[in-house]
Amino acid sequence: MTFEQILSAIEQALGEAPERNFSESVDLAINLKNIDMSQPANRIDEEILLPNGLGKSIKIGVFAKGDIAQRALDSGADMIINPDDIEGLKDDKVKARDLANDIDFFISEVAYMPSIAKALGPVLGPRGKMPVPLTPDKIIEDIIRKAKNSIRVRSKDRLTFHLPVGRKDMEIKLLAENVEAITSRIEQKLANGKQNIKSIYVKTTMGPVVKVM
């Protein structure tokens, strides 16, 4: 699959998409083959840094106190969750679900990870939103900066999975660069590389499906 193929497919998908009164997402559908997805080792579970971001704001929540909490806010975090409230969220399932649905990406100081796993694991785990631990070797500002331009790709046990690559109002070249970054990373994780990829399609939220390869 060449960069020109990606460009052409995205151009066609955008050109054939009906005009909408909102900014649609541009999504990929990736179909794998000749791989046993019942084996966890064969599944895709990767955080991929997009060269051009998603063209929308990624909401970040941080479980922290004091200086870390303030630094997170200064770096663009959208919500600081007081660790003292974690236990309460366990008992308030509606509030826990609302939090999980509202925030795209979580970060937590290491000390609070066990209580988060116990109280919020059933809600965050299935959504692929368990917090990234803020270990001593990591810098909160760097994690937030990266999170703003990353996506989490999770195939689970399926041969077909979908993921966003940007927004319809982004330049086609920027979308194509995002697609290239994603497919390259996925190929690296597959046992037989591109030989394990059956097909790839691109579409806008409400638009027609266009084959990339």
What three-state secondary structure class fits 93?
helix
* CATH number assigned to the domain covering 3-55+150-211: 3.30.190.20
Nearest to 210 by CA among 184, 174, 172, 181: 172
Reported as a single tens digit per residue, the pLDDT across 35-92 is 999 999 999 998 898 999 888 778 999 999 999 999 999 999 999 999 999 999 988 9
Q: Where are the domains of the chain?
A: 3-55+150-211, 60-147
Q: Tell which phi-psi region holds residue 131, choosing left (phi > 0), alpha (psi between -120 and 50) or beta.
A: beta
8 DSSP assignment: H
Amino acid 148: pLDDT:
85
Tokens 């100081």 locate to 109
DSSP 38-85: TSGGGS-EEEEE-TT--SSPPPEEEE--HHHHHHHHHTT-SEEE-GGG
pLDDT interval class at 140 (50, 70, 90): very high
Distances (CA, A) of 96 to 75, 119, 158, 192: 24, 9, 27, 40
Work out the angle at residue 175's Cα, subtended by the Cα atoms of residues 128 and 155, and round it to the nearest 5 degrees.
25
Is this prediction's pTM over 0.85? no
Reported as a single tens digit per residue, the pLDDT across 18-30 is 888 887 899 999 9
Superfamily of domain 60-147: Ribosomal protein L1/L10, domain II (3.40.50.790)
Amino acid 1: pLDDT:
85
Decide: 15 and 195 in contact? Cβ < 8 Å: no
Reported as a single tens digit per residue, the pLDDT across 101-137 is 999 899 999 999 999 999 999 999 998 899 999 999 9
Residue 34 amino acid letter: N
